[in-house]
Amino acid sequence: MTRRTMAQALVRFLASQYVERDGVEQRFFAGCWGIFGHGNVAGIGEALFESPDLLPYHMARNEQSMVHTAVGYARHKDRLQTFACTSSIGPGATNMLTGAALATVNRLPVLLLPGDVFASRIPDPVLQQLEVPSRGDVSVSDAFQSVSRYWDRIARPEQLMGAALAAMRVLTSPADTGAVTLALPQDVQAEEYDYPEVFLAKRVWHVERRPADPAALARAVEAIRAAKRPLIVAGGGVIYACASDALRRFVDETGIPVAETQAGKGSMPFDHPSALGAIGTTGTSAANRIAKEADLVIGIGTRWTDFTTASKTLFENRAVRFVNVNVAEVDVHKHAALAVIADARVALEALSGAGYRVDSGYRAECTRLAEEWDAEVSRLYTLGQAPLPAQSEVIGALNEFSGATDVVVCAAGSMPGELHKLWRTRDRKQYHVEYGYSCMGYEIAGALGVKLADPAREVYALVGDGSYLMLSEAIVTSLQERAKLVVVLVDNHGYASIGGLSRSLGTDGFGTQFRESKPGVRGLDSDRDPAPYLPVDLAANAESLGAHVIRARGMSGFRDALAAAKKVDRTVVIHLEVDRYVAVPSYESWWEVPVAATSDAEGVGDARKSYDKAKQKQRRYL
């Protein structure tokens, strides 16, 4: 037995957890991010201070941001490593809620350790405590229940043992992983208990590669052999299972074309003859045209979001059937699919040798469409837009400048959609766009997680001015961690993505521009509100945070800035103004955003007519 405080025992437990997959063993927790307050400084804080080499501590500036960094790290590590994150009670805890939701939506592991109110309840109401008149056992930490895959409150020190083991089961599960929250009352953190040595000893969690049920596999093979126009949709599960090589071998054998979701982009190199690129609302013309007539869609590691299916308007063939390969039952049965519950790599290896190959005419059609799309990408890379460049030109210049193993990180605004269409991926880890939660502010913090996970790679965070203003403090953290990032700060004076969506709905970009307000008129688009832009200098702000700042002008200036950033040894912010109105087209796809059924606003009526027309193509796959 070892007499330790609950917090000391928890730190020792976390430091002793390992995972193994394919014979490779590694520690599961790379360290602990934290901001201390009265709810955790004397508990978790003391435990980390007492043994600094046991579980390395990393200082954060914002609790949401540190969760994003942990999630970015976990994603780059294929969910086989992550961080713990600790906060005080009250606002420190609730600041982590957005990060928790992002992790759970994206099926990425992170352990959250918010401080909590006193289990003894003697000093109630303690500073920052939420009082619920009808219940005495509620705190703000209860809010994590809806955004966590596992949640528990450790009200007695001995409860830690069962909760910690349950937490690890979820964190290391390919099917169930996400945010895990252990709420830690501040008095219990400091209480001592005799913990068994076996609880604190090294423990290895074996991450299985689940094989497919032979009968399910046989049904999938039968469906593939009967298909005339099959299509593979590769999701994030392909990346996390390290199944890209298996996918390529299967595609080379069968000739079945591949389209990619946001999380699955990079599953195939962009120049493979069967690679059609992005699919769905932000998809390519090649992928979306093939999807329309596909008679069999093989989803591998995808959870089938509305963007992937273009709000269920994309697959128009009335006879279309689905085969889903996934480790998660919640995903594998979607669209009434033939379900294959299995690891993506194992399933693809099992499907090889099925004796199937697509018709030469179909393969030629896919190759032609892919070549036409590649030419369209080249056009969008070189628009020559003036006086301000188009965002597609910025993406093109960065893609052409970056190396095959460099990583681009993005999350929200109009850039994720354009990146999904335009980025030419050459490595399975080159593309890192968080689009499950599409969380503004993830970009720099998530990029920091990628850099810490793989310091040898150059990491580029593409961020709009709207997102930058929400969570730019991660620049400071990157300096403290000596983790160089290149932040490409694209300035279009507002929320350009929602501005474009608003215009398409007939509301003229209402509330999306950073302009000076006038009495009675606020936030309208430039066509109706020519007020000056706000005198905000984001480059100066980044410089004040310690970044090396380059103010780029136009595309030649941006290319020079990229070359100059390569020579700097700390985080660089490249500030570039772009044209907010020049967007990449939508290629035969739709996304459902309801339009007001009646309105006095000019333009809304026409938008509603277009909406009603598009709704007629929508269907349920039953």
Pairwise CA distance, residues 59 & 55, whole Å: 13
Q: Tell me what pLDDT residue 471 has.
A: 95
169 alpha carbon, distance to own chain's centre: 22
- The conformation of residue 592, written as its DSSP 8-state character, comes to -
Q: Are 161 and 195 in contact (CB under 8 A)?
A: yes
Q: What is the pLDDT of residue 523?
A: 47
Q: What is the pLDDT of residues 9-34, one digit of tens each?
A: 999 999 999 999 999 999 999 999 99
Q: What is the mean pLDDT of residues 172-194?
A: 98
Residue 85 corresponds to which tokens in the numbers above? 């994150």
Percentage of the chain beyond pLDDT 70 is 98
Contact 321, 346 (CB under 8 A): no
CA 53 to chain centre: 30
Rg (CA), the chain: 25
Q: Which domains are present in the chain?
A: 2-206 (3.40.50.970), 214-373 (3.40.50.1220), 383-493+534-577 (3.40.50.970)
CA atoms of 304 and 313, how far apart (whole Å):
13
Give per-residue pLDDT as tens, 403-442. Answer: 999 999 999 989 999 999 999 999 999 999 999 999 999 9
Left (φ > 0), alpha (ψ -120 to 50) or beta: where does 198 sit? alpha
| Tokens standing for residue 426 | 């050459």
Could you count the other beta carbons within 10 Å of the beta carbon of residue 511? 15
Identify the residue whose tokens are 């990346």.
239
What are the pLDDT digits (tens) for 328-379? 999 999 999 999 999 999 999 999 988 899 999 999 999 999 999 999 999 9
Exposure of 430 in the CB half-sphere (CA atoms within 13 A): 23
Cβ atoms of 154 and 185 closer than 8 Å: yes
User: What stretches of 35-158 show up as alpha helix (H) in DSSP?
Assistant: 44-50, 63-76, 91-94, 97-105
Mean pLDDT over residues 548-565, rounded? 98
Q: What is the mean pLDDT of residues 450-465?
A: 97
Whether residue 363 contacts residue 554, with contact meaning beta carbons closer than 8 Å, is answered with no
Q: Alpha-carbon distance 58 to 540, whole Å?
A: 27
In terms of Cβ atoms closer than 10 Å to its own Cβ (0-12, 13-18, 19+), residue 165 is middle
By the 8 A CB rule, do 216 and 30 touch?
A: no
Q: What are phi and psi for residue 297, nearest 5 degrees?
A: -115, 120
Mean pLDDT, range 489-514, rounded to an integer: 88
SS3 state at 484: coil
Instruction: Count other Cβ atoms within 10 Å, centred on residue 498.
Output: 17
Taking the C-alpha atoms of residue 165 and residue 147, their distance in angstroms, rounded to an integer, is 20
Q: What share of the chain is helix, strand, coil (3-state, %, to 5)?
A: 35, 20, 45
Predicted pLDDT of residue 516? 80
What is the DSSP annotation of 144-159? Answer: GGGG-SEEEE--STTH
Q: Average pLDDT for residues 565-578, to the nearest whole number? A: 97
52, β-bridge pairs:
none
Instruction: Please name the helix (run of DSSP H) or strand (run of DSSP E) that holds residue 337, with its range, or none.
Output: none
